[in-house]
Amino acid sequence: MKNILITGGAGFIGSHVVRLFCNRYPEYHIFNLDALTYAGNLENLRDVEQKPNYTFIKGDICDVEAVQEIFTRHAIDAVVHLAAESHVDRSIRDPLSFARTNVMGTLNLLQAARVAWNDLTDKLFYHVSTDEVYGSLHNPDEFFVETTPYDPQSPYSASKASSDHFVRAFANTFGLPTVVSNCSNNYGPNQFPEKLIPLFINNIRHGKPLPVYGSGDNVRDWIYVEDHARAIDAIFHRGRRGDTYNIGGFNEWRNIDLVRTLVATADRLLGNPAGHSERLITFVADRAGHDLRYAIDSSKLHRELGWQPSLQFEEGVERTVRWYLDNQQWLERVTSGEYANYYRQMYGD
């Protein structure tokens, strides 16, 4: 039996990782540590919560005593660290909370692992990070590889870059067994509807404007969330300790093209005439410091661990749009309260 601490397991990607690990590895006990911020939702884990190999712990990764106690009380063998503030727009409004959670929270977990793990045999600290640490690409032939120099451009990516550096510093200085992965934009069920894809599907459903930042020419590289979870599984079990893996699906889309695809798919599934919701597309002021293009080269992960995405983008988009249209109550529950205030501040009524 291994005791695995997954942080941020009630969030978007974390919930898919918790589900995969609980189902595939009954010999592991999964401890899900999550503060249940606006982005954490235990409803995402309804199908897992009764499993004998799953325990939820409500707590803050910045809480020094609470985190130390988790390591000793539950004899944690490995960490998969996903808890973070994850939305770039929020980091522009409130950078300090990103430094607190993403930098200090990660450091607190590293320190607790170092203190608890006298014997490092079979221990692992897996840090889940983002491609945004590499900055913004301007040459169309360029891709982010694992050795691309860090050049974070937003408070969010600066906080994630800092946390990555701390993880590597602990590996180098204290010999902590670590692995880092940097992934591109995820999409799929259970993503909080402040991010482009769920926000726009929800707005199409309600006939609300689709606020495309700037010219809509920014490019993102999209991966289905379950494929990211499968990659984490492969790296957790077979990744080289001390190493870094980029995760991505070689699937670049200009924002405006992606938005038109979402509109066409949603209109079809809603039974609207073709092109019906195109009128909702509204170009708005650009995000401050908006990174132009992200594009991940994940060939190392494919070459060394045999991972590749399981889903074609067309199928993933269809599944995703259908999930949000079918799960209107989930959307209503997560968009009430604090999120309604945030939405008014960002986009007006």
The residues that are catalytic are 131-132, 156
Q: Which is nearer to ligand DAU, 177 or 198 (CB)?
A: 198
What does 104 bind: ligand NAD, ligand DAU, none (CB cut-off 5 to 8 Å by kind)? none
> CA torsion, points 120, 126, 127, 132, in degrees to nearest 10?
130
Give the separation between CA 246 and CA 296, rounded to whole angstroms: 7
Decide: residue 65, CB within 10 A, 0-12 exposed, 13-18 middle, 19+ buried.
exposed
Residues between 190 and 219 that touch ligand NAD (CB under 6 A): 192
Give residues with Cβ within 8 angstroms of 50, minimum separation 6: none
Residue span 1-20 as binding mask against ligand NAD, x where in contact by CB under 6 A, dash where not = ------xx-xxxxx------
**8 Å CB contact between 147 and 89:** no
Residue 131 is classified by DSSP as G
What residue ranges bind ligand DAU (CB under 6 A)? 86-88, 130-132, 184-185, 195-196, 199, 211-213, 218, 220, 255, 287, 294
Q: How many other C-beta atoms lie within 10 A of the C-beta of residue 337?
A: 10
Q: How far is the CB of 284 from ligand DAU (least distance, A)?
A: 7
The residue sitting closest to ligand DAU, measured at its beta carbon, is: 130
Sole binder of ligand NAD in the list 5, 6, 45, 82 (CB under 6 A): 82
What does 77 bind: ligand NAD, ligand DAU, none (CB cut-off 5 to 8 Å by kind)? none
Give the separation between CA 134 and CA 131, rounded to whole angstroms: 6
Best CA proximity match to 130, nearest among 12, 266, 31, 280: 12
Q: How far is the CB of 220 from ligand DAU (least distance, A)?
A: 5
**8 Å CB contact between 126 and 179:** yes
Q: Which is nearer to ligand DAU, 124 or 296 (CB)?
A: 296
Give the separation between CA 40 and CA 162, rounded to whole angstroms: 23
What does 114 bind: ligand DAU, ligand NAD, none (CB cut-off 5 to 8 Å by kind)? none
Q: Does 40 bind ligand NAD (CB under 6 A)?
A: yes
Interface residues toward ligand NAD, by CB under 6 A: 7-8, 10-14, 34-37, 39-40, 60-62, 82-84, 86, 101, 105, 128, 130, 160, 183, 185-186, 192
